[in-house]
């Protein structure tokens, strides 16, 4: 059974800092890994999708890496802003086509 | 439509009543998922539809829960004889294939009183 773990559970940083969120998964037989953000009371917004054959993806200030063999992904956020405050979720798409989610990292960026 | 649409956005129901939650996926998306997010909990997989294949119902928590997808598009999640523990946000997602992004709706917040 696929298990996804996200560390840390919560993170508070001052504005302007670079930060890294971690995601690990137990079964490396995945199609892809997707990072989402969730604002309070809202649905999930897709940030980045990394295919199993890829090592990283970039979108603006966000960079996600994937090491499938070790079951790890990181989301790097450069020059953080208060508007980045949200819960960040990673999810892996397994060979059974199910998306398995971690419990998320609650990020607070302080002005 | 521009995105995945779910209705209603909020639903308050009395214990024991049946409820129906609706999901309109992005046009052309063949895969559709239902998830449940309880307060302080992660996202729990409920059911997965892919085209005309038999759905993967392995995540449905009890036989009070059922879902259908008509014409490969709109999906309805039905909860019969609702219980207080059914209170949660129910999220729907769709995608075109395993190598594409999954997009989520805004969810339906269900409160059973």
Only one residue has tokens 């992660």, namely B42
Min Cα separation A111/chain B (Å): 26
Only one residue has tokens 């038999």, namely B54
**What mean pLDDT comes out for the span A17-34?**
96
Cβ neighbours of residue B1 closer than 8 Å, sequence gap 6 or more: B24, B26, B27
- Subunit contact A42:B106, Cβ cutoff 8 A: yes
Q: What is the pLDDT of residues B25-70, one digit of tens each?
A: 999 999 999 999 998 788 999 999 998 889 999 999 999 999 999 8
> Are the CB atoms for A101 and B42 separated by under 8 Å?
yes
Chain A residue closest to B94 (CA)?
A99
Q: Out of B43, B99, B107, name the one closest to residue A32 (CB).
A: B99
Q: Out of A43, A96, A98, name the one closest to residue B107 (CB).
A: A43
Interface of B with A in 67-86 (CB under 8 A): none
Q: Which residues of B touch A47 (CB under 8 A)?
A: none
Burial A55-68 (b: 16+ CB within 10 A, else e): eebeeeebbbbbeb
Residue A33 to residue A54: CA distance in whole angstroms: 10
Does pLDDT of B1 surpass 80?
no
B52: region left, alpha or beta (phi > 0 left; psi from -120 to 50 alpha): alpha
Q: What is the pLDDT of residues B56-112, one digit of tens each?
A: 999 999 999 999 998 879 999 999 999 999 999 999 999 998 889 999 999 999 999
Chain A residue closest to B109 (CA)?
A41
**What mean pLDDT comes out for the span A29-56?**
94
> Are the CB atoms for B77 and B46 separated by under 8 Å?
yes
User: At B84, phi and psi to the nearest 5?
Assistant: -60, -30
Q: What is the pLDDT of residues A57-102, one digit of tens each?
A: 999 999 999 999 999 999 999 999 999 999 999 999 998 899 999 9
Q: Does B50 touch chain A (CB under 8 A)?
A: yes
Q: Does B34 touch chain A (CB under 8 A)?
A: no
């Amino acid at each position: 059974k696929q298990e996804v773990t996200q560390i840390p559970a919560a993170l508070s940083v001052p504005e302007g800092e670079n930060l890294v969120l971690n995601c690990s998964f137990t079964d490396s037989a995945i199609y892809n890994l997707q990072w989402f953000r969730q604002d309070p009371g809202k649905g999930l917004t897709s940030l980045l999708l990394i295919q199993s054959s890829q090592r990283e993806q970039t979108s603006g200030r966000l960079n996600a890496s994937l090491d499938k063999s070790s079951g790890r992904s990181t989301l790097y956020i450069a020059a953080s802003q208060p508007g980045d405050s949200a819960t960040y979720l990673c999810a892996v798409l397994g060979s059974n086509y199910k998306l398995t989610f971690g419990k998320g990292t609650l990020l607070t960026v302080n002005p | 439509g521009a995105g995945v649409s779910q209705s209603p956005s909020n639903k308050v129901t009395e214990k024991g009543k049946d409820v129906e939650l609706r999901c309109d996926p992005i046009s052309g998306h063949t895969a559709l998922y239902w998830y449940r997010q309880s307060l302080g909990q992660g996202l729990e997989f409920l059911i997965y539809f892919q085209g005309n294949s038999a759905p993967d119902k392995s995540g449905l928590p009890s036989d009070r829960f059922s879902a259908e997808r008509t014409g490969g598009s709109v999906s309805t999640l039905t909860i019969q004889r609702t219980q207080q523990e059914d209170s949660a946000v129910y999220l729907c997602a769709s995608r075109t294939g395993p190598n594409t992004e999954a997009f989520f709706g805004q969810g339906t917040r269900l409160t059973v009183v």
